[in-house]
A and B are shown apart, each in its own frame.
Chain A
């Protein structure tokens, strides 16, 4: 098949020493970042973005993809050994994994997490290779109204589906849209929210926003809650699994992959929902139900596979349509744009070699991650002994350097601090961060598509409803918005008569 030929070509190109070295650096940094709670791949990609300005785009993306995948591997180590998830996608792993560790089966838990992540990552990337061209064919037929509808769906989904409170999601989204609004409007030349400051005319750079909200906000939050009781870490030898563990794990791995990949590809799917679904499914299908809650290996195998598969799934809409479905993809999208590359259907035609080298590097990065994580998981846990002041001092250094490197103007540092305070306030008041990043990055693009549709229709609102895709997407939006009301007024009263 044509795509497999392209993939083979990608493998040929990726086996260059510099590319392999960057893949290795990416996976090392990604695992480290996944192990440490509070620091995630999204923040790291944003922090390292200015460093990659001097590199070729391919190399930068190989490193970012390594960080992305690595983050999913590292989170399980902390979840299992410390009962503190390193990433939000590893929350479910902690439930069974930590119980297994306390029962003396930490080695098996770590092994099933690492091998499951590898299996899911490989299958997920294969699915990525097969599915993306199909999605690209579909995306070519999308017009501006369809893109606008899809982005609206992304906004609505990211506020309504994730998180406990819709209103908090909406607040966060509106903050992000406002931040994205700053600058001179390219169409009408109107100054928007620039407050008379000429340096803001180009808008607030995405790097400053991402780094400020993620890195500086997190640093301030940790500084405010610094002195905490150290957690007990469970000592473990080299991870390994017995034959019975293999037999019990392989089906949850496959089921987890099946859950993770589609949810990663959906807007606002994220990695948390498939892990919960995988856990619930494994609990129902297990032959050892009495073990759930006390350390069942299926409860680690399934969710870990799900979160790695969702990482692969996230790349499908990002590469094929240019629609990011989680924070890391959003920052990677901004990285693409900073190189002048536009992800979307034309990406595969214009930058075919870049895309296939990237996908080939995912396979290699996956393998490197397995080799790094399986024997070395206890060593990665040693990272947790670094006192947080040193860690966050390093992060703030990179953050300030990155913010200044964008435009070499001191205003960006003030903006960084302001956004950092905003990020701190969001964590303090429980506002989710993802809608803000999606709003700041997708907002301007959604506006562009919306305006284009209205211009094509001569200003009539009916221009926003273009082809069949936009009908379908708007229908889904209506369902998502209306479903809670329906549930409250129609379904509940039916079940409540005493």
Chain B
């Protein structure tokens, strides 16, 4: 059984990572950190580059939990990938970061959080950025 964390290099993503670590400890399960990108833009700010990933790896190793980091490139968008992974692997909880968005923004570009909340079978923990 695994706890899946949807990670992006932003305050929301960091908060999701912390919450994911806590949950994995509580449940005694493995931690899976997932970062995705469609790969179709030259620059993607939601794609974790090497320094960020190394940082995450160090933190997790220091805490001594069993973890795995996956970077998925070239698939669908983030919500699709997470829903797919949650189905394929034995995931007991999905942890995502949440931020406030306007109704018009969600209308135009869609809401990844909503897709994940409604798309997965397992429970979803949505965490806001640390103030």
Q: Is A bound to B?
A: yes
The distance in angstroms between the C-alpha atoms of A394 and B97, with both chains bound, is: 33
| Cβ–Cβ contact B42 & A384, under 8 A | yes
The distance in angstroms between the C-alpha atoms of A443 and B74, with both chains bound, is: 43
| Cβ–Cβ contact B41 & A384, under 8 A | yes
Interface residue from B43, B45, B74 paired with A227 (Cβ < 8 Å): B74
**What distance in Å separates the Cβ of A228 from its nearest Cβ neighbour in chain B?**
5
The distance in angstroms between the C-alpha atoms of A405 and B38, with both chains bound, is: 35
A229-242 contact mask (Cβ, 8 Å, vs B): 1 or 0: 11111000000000
The answer, yes or no, to whether A490 is at the interface (CB within 8 Å) is no
The answer, yes or no, to whether A386 is at the interface (CB within 8 Å) is yes
Q: Which residue of B lies closest to A381 (CB)?
A: B43
The answer, yes or no, to whether B111 is at the interface (CB within 8 Å) is no
Q: Which residue of A lies closest to B41 (CB)?
A: A387
**Chain B contact residues, majority secondary structure:** loop
| Cβ–Cβ contact A230 & B47, under 8 A | yes
Q: Which residues of B contact A278 (CB under 8 A)?
A: none
The answer, yes or no, to whether A188 is at the interface (CB within 8 Å) is no
The answer, yes or no, to whether B73 is at the interface (CB within 8 Å) is yes
Q: Which residues of A contact B74 (CB under 8 A)?
A: 226-228
The answer, yes or no, to whether B110 is at the interface (CB within 8 Å) is no
Q: Which residues of chain B from 60 to 80 have any CB-CB distance to chain A below 8 Å in the complex?
A: 73-74
The answer, yes or no, to whether B10 is at the interface (CB within 8 Å) is no
- Interface magnitude class on chain A: 10 to 19
Q: How many residues on the B side are at the interface (Cβ–Cβ under 8 A)?
A: 14
The answer, yes or no, to whether B39 is at the interface (CB within 8 Å) is yes
The distance in angstroms between the C-alpha atoms of A187 and B38, with both chains bound, is: 56
The answer, yes or no, to whether B40 is at the interface (CB within 8 Å) is yes
Q: Which residues of B contact A387 (CB under 8 A)?
A: 38, 40-41
The answer, yes or no, to whether A84 is at the interface (CB within 8 Å) is yes
Q: Which residue of B lies closest to A222 (CB)?
A: B40
Q: Which residue of A lies closest to B45 (CB)?
A: A385
| Cβ–Cβ contact B43 & A233, under 8 A | yes
The distance in angstroms between the C-alpha atoms of A384 and B40, with both chains bound, is: 10
**What distance in Å separates the Cβ of B1 from its nearest Cβ neighbour in chain A?**
31
The answer, yes or no, to whether B115 is at the interface (CB within 8 Å) is no
- Most-contacted residue by chain A among B37, B42, B44 (CB, 10 A): B42
| Cβ–Cβ contact A388 & B41, under 8 A | yes
**What distance in Å separates the Cβ of B103 from its nearest Cβ neighbour in chain A?**
23
Interface residue from B42, B44, B49, B73 paired with A37 (Cβ < 8 Å): B42
| Cβ–Cβ contact A84 & B40, under 8 A | no
The answer, yes or no, to whether A389 is at the interface (CB within 8 Å) is yes
The distance in angstroms between the C-alpha atoms of A386 and B38, with both chains bound, is: 12
The answer, yes or no, to whether A72 is at the interface (CB within 8 Å) is no
Write 12 A-B pairs (CB below 8 A) sorted by A numbering. A82-B43, A84-B42, A226-B39, A226-B40, A227-B73, A228-B73, A229-B47, A230-B37, A233-B43, A384-B41, A384-B42, A385-B43
11 additional A-B residue pairs with CB within 8 Å, beyond A388-B42, A389-B40: A37-B42, A82-B42, A227-B39, A230-B37, A230-B44, A231-B42, A384-B41, A384-B42, A384-B43, A385-B44, A387-B41
